[in-house]
C-alpha cells in the first residue's frame, strides 16, 4: 500500500493515550449530521419566508436538497469502512466531483434564485465554523505518526483559522457595513485557497489518503472523522464558499 508517500509508525504514537483518541473518534463524527440538520433548519426557514409559494413546493424543494445531502453523508460513512480509498483516484474524485455536481444542479432548482436572495449572508458564512474540526489533522502531525505532514499542518491550521473567524465575519456582515462584504469575499477566497494549497501539499508528503489508510493509533482512531472531513466536509464547504461569494457579489452589484 506504500507509494511515493512514506508511511512511518512512530513508537511515540504507539504510546499515545488511546482512550483520548477513541473518545475523540466517538464524539467528533457527530458534527456532520448536526451540520446537515442545521442546513435543513436554515433552508426550511428560508423557504417559509417565500410566502408566494405553496407548502408542497417548499417541501419538494427542501427534500430535493436535504435528501441527497443526507444520502451523501451515509455513503461517506459506509465507504470509510471499506478499502475503497486505497484506490488513488477515490479521494480526488470524492473531493472534486460533489462540488461540480452541486454547482451544476443547484442553480437548476426552480426556487434557487429566490433562496439565494432570502438566505441571510451571515448564515452561509457562519456555518463554516464547522471547519474548526479540521484541526484534528494536527494531531497525527504533532504525534509524529506521519513522515512529512506538510498537508496536515497546512490543512489543520488554515481550517482552524477559517473556523474561528467564521462567526466574527458573519456578525460583521450582518451589521451592514459595506467594507464587511469585501472582507467576507476575501475570507471566502481564503477558504477556497486553503483547499487548493492542501491539494498541492498532499503531493509532497503524507496526505488525506494516509489519514484514511494508515494503521497508527491517532490516525486509526480519527479515521471516520477524517473521511467525513475529506469526502463530505471539504466538498460541502467548497459549495458553501462559492454560494457565499455569489451571494455577496450580488449584494455589491
- Summarize pLDDT for 149-201 with one digit per residue, the tens: 889 999 999 999 999 999 999 999 999 888 999 999 999 999 999 999 988 88
Whether residue 218 lies inside any domain: the answer is yes
Query: How far from chain centre, in Å, is Cα 245?
Result: 16
Residue 24: HSE in the Cβ half-sphere, 13 Å Cα cutoff: 21
Q: Which cell numbers hold the place of 135? A: 484541526
Whether residue 199 lies inside any domain: the answer is yes
Q: How far apart are CA 47 and CA 85, in angstroms?
A: 37
Whether residue 54 lies inside any domain: the answer is yes
pLDDT of residue 164: 97
Residue range of the domain that includes 93? 17-252
Whether residue 212 lies inside any domain: the answer is yes
Ranges under pLDDT 50 in the chain: 1-17
Whether residue 5 lies inside any domain: the answer is no
Whether residue 4 lies inside any domain: the answer is no
pLDDT of residue 9: 38
pLDDT of residue 16: 41
pLDDT of residue 233: 94
Is-contact 88 210, C-beta < 8 A? no
Whether residue 2 lies inside any domain: the answer is no
Whether residue 7 lies inside any domain: the answer is no
Is-contact 39 127, C-beta < 8 A? yes
In whole angstroms, how far apart are CA 17 and each of 28, 167, 211, 218?
Answer: 17, 33, 18, 9
Is-contact 137 156, C-beta < 8 A? yes
pLDDT of residue 17: 46
Angle at 39 between CA 63 and CA 249, to 5 degrees: 105
For the chain, the domain total comes to 1
Amino acid at each position: 500500500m506504500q507509494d511515493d508517500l512514506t508511511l512511518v509508525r512512530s513508537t511515540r504514537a504507539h504510546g499515545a493515550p488511546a482512550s483520548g483518541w477513541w473518545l475523540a473518534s466517538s464524539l467528533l463524527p457527530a458534527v456532520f449530521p448536526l451540520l446537515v440538520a442545521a442546513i435543513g433548519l436554515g433552508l426550511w426557514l428560508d423557504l417559509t419566508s417565500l410566502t408566494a409559494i405553496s407548502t408542497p413546493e417548499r417541501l419538494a424543494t427542501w427534500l430535493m436538497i436535504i435528501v441527497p445531502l443526507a444520502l451523501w453523508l451515509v455513503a461517506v460513512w459506509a465507504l470509510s469502512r471499506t478499502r475503497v480509498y486505497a484506490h488513488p483516484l477515490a479521494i480526488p474524485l470524492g473531493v472534486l466531483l460533489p462540488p461540480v455536481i452541486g454547482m451544476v444542479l443547484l442553480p437548476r432548482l426552480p426556487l434557487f434564485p429566490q433562496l439565494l436572495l432570502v438566505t441571510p449572508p451571515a448564515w452561509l458564512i457562519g456555518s463554516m465554523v464547522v471547519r474548526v474540526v479540521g484541526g484534528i489533522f494536527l494531531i497525527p502531525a504533532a504525534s509524529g505518526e506521519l513522515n512529512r505532514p506538510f498537508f496536515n499542518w497546512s490543512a489543520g491550521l488554515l481550517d482552524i483559522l477559517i473556523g474561528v473567524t467564521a462567526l466574527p465575519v458573519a456578525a460583521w456582515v450582518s451589521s451592514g457595513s459595506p467594507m464587511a462584504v469585501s472582507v467576507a469575499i476575501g475570507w471566502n477566497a481564503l477558504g477556497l485557497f486553503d483547499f487548493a494549497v492542501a491539494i498541492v501539499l498532499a503531493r509532497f508528503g503524507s496526505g488525506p489518503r494516509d489519514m484514511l489508510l494508515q494503521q497508527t493509533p491517532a490516525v486509526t482512531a480519527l479515521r471516520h472523522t477524517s473521511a467525513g472531513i475529506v469526502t463530505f466536509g471539504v466538498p460541502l464547504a467548497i459549495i458553501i464558499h462559492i454560494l457565499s461569494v455569489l451571494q455577496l457579489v450580488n449584494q455589491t452589484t
